[in-house]
A and B are shown apart, each in its own frame.
Chain A
């Protein structure tokens, strides 16, 4: 087991290093963005005097390096600073938004991941017969529609016409009971599920089919095991690496990439928060969001790597 432990330790250390590099990259990236925070805050109604005053006030005349290190040391102490635009404490407002985002991502994942794997297994079981083709066509169609269009369609048919679910998520309150919150996010969860389902399902199917060619599967089949049992017991565990990779990519997407769904359903998540601050050039907030997103990404990828390592018998038991 030592090589595995060593591999894992390596991955985690590298993840942390990566996070540090990302913070620099994000910082440089935000500097390159055209326009500045003072102009963006005042918008079209900015006079040169007001601009100069606001710039001074926001500390934008300090050298970039100073601002970066001030911020980095703050982060180590759990202080993400205050937003340039609204003067709010970032850690506090961001924390609330992040919890909302996780809530939405969690429920979308809870539905989408098992459903995708199940549909993938089903497609393999009935390979090239009608269930396989139907699953394939439906998931493909759902993935090829732009997110906002799926959103609008569900909103109008399920929300406005049939009134099954609230048409937007404005009823969502972080402090409400779970049932109210789930009702509010029913439609966004449905859209997100449709968006990530096809990718994961198709990868599950392809990866399992790939393994199904191996000799040991044939052996298992010859032993007289049922097809589903062969797939579930023998093929699935051996095709876990690519599946986990795609699942992690999609989980990360659920946290990082849901801006459109948040905008369409008016859900107070992190995506909208980030976009607002990017367009206002609020550097500390963008950095904080970027860092959190990066941490989620790196964390999930690390997890995918770890699971891949643990799941691969040859890596687990090196010769």
Chain B
């Protein structure tokens, strides 16, 4: 009851519920008006940000092999840590749109090919050096050079030239792209002194914290940056502890060893939420669990086989049993409501008759083999078993082969014709489609070659009329859903949990989990 009360109290202080309604709810819970008012006052005080203290975060995904070099960041821990000491030019705003970080402002030419960024003045790196437009230029050069190892190389490819003019940084593109600001929020693009050419893994940037202890795959400690230009960060010290084992991470939170954790297993999230002093937060995002077929490999080169498999999957059951409802049903496109310019389309549902019809129409497809592994997405082998069962009701037999976790991304994904996989999503539809559905994309992991789709994608990228652009994306979604090699049964929600030692959680934050990894900086220790 106490937790319900504090939930409503939190909504009052956040302005989501009226005071009158709160008192009504409290009365329904059997609490007197006086007690409820006192409680509300206490909550309001707890909602007041407080400075100081230490916040400890149980992270996931970190390995001893990681590096502080943001160009090589490839997991949640590395990404979250780079947010501490570094900053990009722009960042996703909490509830959609763009927030200015090291760029004070930007403007685009009418054809969306030339972009000018004004660099924030009076900002210092943690080594004392002032930030200049040259540092920005050098950073971008490091991520786009011929010999770069950066994970951001793909999104830098459309740039034809870059230069500085005084305090501004200018990008020229090969072709119009209205989404460039979104691309620059990429987590690899942390601005470093001289672009980080001398020592990319030094952990020196303009971020709100300064790294004081780094033990890869184990522990990171950061202290408040006294010279930080902005107002981010309440706690004096942040401690990120890598706890990859799901059960151990939850146990650490429950026994008070850490104050917040990310990636709570959905299976146990409902049970954890009942524990005293723990709040579970659910945030929808663009990440999706998928089954991918190569459209150019038999038997998947026959669209009837692809449709048979799409009709033969029970999305609701999978959402219920794999994600325990912590997510939403997919519709065989990589796009969901979390994307700007999203249009809803008719939901494809489980239909054994249609599956059988398409499968028979395709003729002899032979035995179909699905490859999977636990690390393609959590519960993937179980999902594969469910798929096998639902296809069986349509009279289609599916073989499942579990591959070793180790080497899955290099030996199976994007190599074998049918496997389970995961996509974290991208901030815009253009970026998602360009990354994995364009004929020429490196990660065209469904081997989807459709000229009409490619043309529409390029046209939409330069289209500045929003209504027209929305329509184009809707048409493209239809093509992928009806003809593509993607079977997308579900989008997963981010599931995080915090203890009541910290406060200040913001709901529906865009981007990654833990409020796009800003939770440790935007939350505070309750006094």
Contacts and interface: CB of A to CB of B under 8 A. Distances in A.
Given A50-B151, A170-B243, A268-B218, A282 B65 contact: yes
B251 A279 contact: no
Contacts of A86: 64-67, 201, 216
A42 B247 contact: no
A167 B255 contact: yes
A263 B246 CA distance: 10
A205 B252 CA distance: 40
A53 B245 contact: no
Interface in B295-350: none
Contact of B247 (A93, A166, A264): A264
Interface in A2-42: 33-36, 39-42
A79 interface: no
Interface stretch (B29-37, B402-410, B508-516): B402-410
B442 A48 contact: yes
Contacts of A33: 407
B216 A168 contact: no
Contacts of A266: 241-245, 248, 252
A268 B215 contact: yes
Given A50-B150, A166-B257, A171-B257, A43 B251 contact: no
A28 to B, nearest CB: 18
B5 interface: no
B148 to A, nearest CB: 6
Given A44-B409, A45-B74, A168-B248, A160 B255 contact: yes
Nearest to A43: B74
A52 to B, nearest CB: 9
Interface string A255-280: 00000000111101000110011111
B251 A156 contact: yes
Nearest to B254: A160
Contact of B64 (A46, A54, A273): A273
Interface residues of A, number: 50
Contacts of A282: 65
A115 B147 CA distance: 59
Interface string B195-229: 00000010000000000000111110000000000
B178 interface: no
Given A39-B409, A268-B215, A167 B251 contact: yes
Interface string A154-183: 011001100100111011000000000000
Contacts of B407: 33-35, 40, 279
* Interface core residue of A39, A53, A263 (most chain B CB under 10 Å): A53
B64 A50 contact: no
A32 B67 CA distance: 26
A276 B74 CA distance: 14
B254 A167 contact: yes
Contact of B65 (A41, A171, A265): A41
Given A53-B149, A87-B201, A266-B245, A276 B64 contact: yes
Contact of B149 (A42, A48, A278): A42
B63 interface: yes
B158 interface: no
Contacts of A280: 63, 65
Nearest to B251: A167
B72 interface: yes
B411 A34 contact: yes
Contacts of A264: 245, 247-248
Given A86-B64, A170-B257, A276 B217 contact: yes
Contact of A54 (B149, B244, B409): B149
Given A34-B410, A53-B148, A167 B257 contact: yes
Given A41-B72, A159-B255, A266-B248, A278 B406 contact: yes
B154 interface: yes
A168 B410 contact: no
A45 B245 contact: no
Contacts of B148: 49-50, 53
A280 B66 CA distance: 10
A99 B442 CA distance: 44
B248 A265 contact: yes
Interface string B42-75: 0000000000000000000001111100001011
A85 interface: yes
A276 B62 CA distance: 9
Given A39-B410, A264-B245, A83 B74 contact: no
B413 interface: yes
A152 interface: yes
A227 interface: no
B153 interface: yes
B425 to A, nearest CB: 13
Interface string A36-72: 1001111111111110011011000000000000000
Contacts of A41: 65, 72, 74
Interface in B61-105: 63-67, 72, 74-75
Nearest to B423: A44
Contacts of A163: 255
Contact of A40 (B149, B216, B243, B410): B410
Contact of B241 (A56, A88, A170, A276): A170
Nearest to A52: B147
Given A53-B149, A170-B241, A263-B244, A47 B257 contact: no
B409 A43 contact: yes
B252 A85 contact: no
B74 A42 contact: yes
A43 B422 CA distance: 12
Interface of B: 63-67, 72, 74-75, 146-151, 153-154, 201, 215-219, 241-245, 247-248, 251-252, 254-255, 257-258, 405-407, 409-411, 413, 422, 442-443
19 contacts: A39-B409, A40-B409, A41-B72, A42-B149, A47-B442, A48-B442, A49-B153, A53-B148, A54-B149, A56-B147, A86-B66, A93-B64, A167-B257, A168-B252, A168-B257, A170-B219, A170-B243, A266-B248, A273-B64
10 smallest CB-CB distances across A and B, nearest first, come from A85-B65, A35-B410, A39-B410, A35-B407, A167-B255, A276-B63, A167-B251, A276-B64, A280-B65, A43-B74
Given A42-B149, A160-B251, 17 more contacts: A40-B410, A44-B443, A50-B149, A50-B153, A57-B149, A159-B251, A166-B255, A167-B252, A170-B219, A170-B257, A170-B258, A263-B245, A266-B245, A276-B63, A276-B65, A276-B217, A279-B407
